[in-house]
Chain A
């Protein structure tokens, strides 16, 4: 039996992971992300006045990865489309909880698509980000 989820077994309404994936925004996360993406905006530098450090909204890419791994798709999948809405600014120290739900699946030009919506809340329960990921499912193994 394959360790990966088959396309035919992906059901609309499937929520993953079963419990929200938790992620803590740390200085190290922000440093590595800004370095890797060569961010030059200065928006995410450590504040000189000792205030709370902001984090780039696109660290969504970091906290979503564990959610996508929980989906269990086979290798060879392709990220086709991405929508992200940033409702509240992120800061170092935030505890984020993310869950996703499959909202659609379809075949187009022999490619098998899966659409999932994500929702991320912070430690206060506020929705900080929502997203829609459209993926081309990898070949069944």
Chain B
């Protein structure tokens, strides 16, 4: 089991990079798992007539990748008293390689303990498809 980050955390620390290859099979599997069968994700014929010209991945799937990164980095601290806040900036297509990166932006001392705020970016090549931040109760040790 992942125990999460060990040692002291400092502003500017970089989180490990998370990479995922997205295929139509991956999108379909996510549709099955989430129950979201919007045809813009799963029906190439329908999607070909839409604004993107082809199917796109669910935004929540991309968000799940960012959450996975936080799970791997923060461990159990990510499971409660935590938050994530993102904007979906562009589509993710089948065949895209998605990379999620993060950096510790701020460590805030709150009544309940230290809270680390991480800036998250999700990219496909040079294109930013999602960006935002996450916070959890982990910090100065």
Bound complex: CA A81 to CA B80 (Å): 21
- Residues in B neighbouring A62, C-beta threshold 8 A: 33-35
Whether a CB of chain B sits under 8 angstroms from the CB of A57 is yes
**Structural contact, A82 and B72, CB atoms closer than 8 A:** no
Please give the distance in Å from A90's CB to the nearest CB on chain B.
8
Instruction: Pick the most buried of B29, B64, B68, B75: most chain A CB atoms within 10 A of its CB.
Output: B64
Asked whether, in the complex, the Cβ of A41 is within 8 Å of the Cβ of B72, the reply is yes
Contact, CB under 8 Å: A86 / B82 = yes
Interface string of B99-112 (1 = CB under 8 A from A): 00000000000000
Question: Contacts A57-B67, A83-B84, A84-B83: A33 and B39 contacting too (C-beta < 8 A)?
Answer: no
Task: Check if B87 is an interface residue, CB within 8 A of chain A.
Answer: yes
Contact yes or no, A45 B1, CB < 8 A: yes
Scoring B58, B63, B75 by chain A CB atoms within 10 A of each residue's CB, the highest score goes to B63
How close is A65's CB to chain B, nearest CB, in angstroms? 5
Residues in A whose Cβ lies below 8 Å from that of B39:
75
CB-defined contacts of A87 to chain B, threshold 8 Å: 80-81
Q: Which residues of A are found within 8 Å of B67, using beta-carbon distances?
A: 56-58
Alpha-carbon distance A98/B87, docked complex (angstroms): 22
- Could you tell me which residues of chain B, from 29 to 65, have a CB within 8 Å of some CB in chain A? 29-30, 32-36, 38-40, 50, 58-61, 63-65
Q: Is A3 an interface residue (CB 8 A)?
A: no
**Residue in contact with A81 in the complex, picked from B32, B71, B76, B88, CB distance below 8 Å:** B88
Q: A42-B1, A43-B2, A43-B79 are in contact. Are A83 and B34 (CB under 8 A)?
A: no
Q: How large is the interface on B (under 10, 10 to 19, 20 to 34, 35 or more residues)?
A: 35 or more
Contact with B along A52-80 (1 / 0, CB 8 A): 00101110011001100000000110111
A35 pairs with B33, CB closer than 8 A:
yes
The answer to whether B32 and A43 have CB atoms under 8 Å apart is no
Query: Would you call A37 and B35 a contact (CB within 8 A)?
Result: no
| A86 vs B40: C-alpha distance when bound (angstroms) | 29
Min CB gap B140→A, angstroms:
22
| A82 and B86 contact, Cβ closer than 8 Å, known pairs A41-B2, A42-B2, A57-B78 | yes
A residues contacting B by CB (< 8 A) are 29, 32-33, 35-43, 45, 54, 56-58, 61-62, 65-66, 75-76, 78-90
Q: A35-B33, A83-B85 are in contact. List 6 more A-B contacts (CB 8 A).
A: A43-B75, A54-B79, A57-B82, A79-B88, A82-B88, A86-B81
